[in-house]
Amino acid sequence: MLPPYVRAVRSACWVPDGVGGRLVHALKYDGWHRLAGGMAERMGRLDWPTDVVAERTALVPVPLSPRRERERGFNQSERLAAALGARLRLAVWEDVLLRTTFTSSQTRLTPEERLRNVSGAFRVAGDPARLRGAHLVLVDDVVTTAATLNACAAALFAGGTRIMSYVTFGRARLPGDAPP
């Protein structure tokens, strides 16, 4: 379920199966940073409603906790956002959203557990005046239930952002999705 202030959601491929799933895994867990460029190129070819294209202000990568970023050595969402921003000629605002708590991996959690896991995990950083009236596009590697993206969007909306859209490289299938 998406909040009313989310305008559009786009993903480049289905995961975890197939090449898309292997690419996400290689970027996220094997440190193949250079994959982000090709993945972002595919994300950059996605079709968007004309109002989203006209209004979008900046890309905002989903932040990792400092602990998770130290473990990994990088944030895969930041890598995707940087490459996508260059392709779309959009600013990337890495400094407007913080993850305030370390959360366990969402991978094996139920939808209800995912919601609880990220509840209150994000907050706006810096001057909220920058967010007022903006249409921000949140960038992540994968969307499953949208719990993480929705938690990010809730923090940004509370901070003054007018509307958000989401873009991910992969989308996990949920019950009710059409078969491949």
Residues forming a β-bridge with 164: 6, 136
Q: Mean pLDDT check: name the lowest of 37-46, 55-64, 100-109.
A: 100-109
Count of beta carbons in the 10 Å neighbourhood of residue 110: 9
Domains of the chain: 6-172 (3.40.50)
* Res 170: pLDDT: 96
What tokens were used for 130?
Answer: 């920058």
Length of the chain: 180
Residue 16 binned pLDDT confidence (cut-offs 50, 70, 90) = confident
Residue 52 binned pLDDT confidence (cut-offs 50, 70, 90) = very high
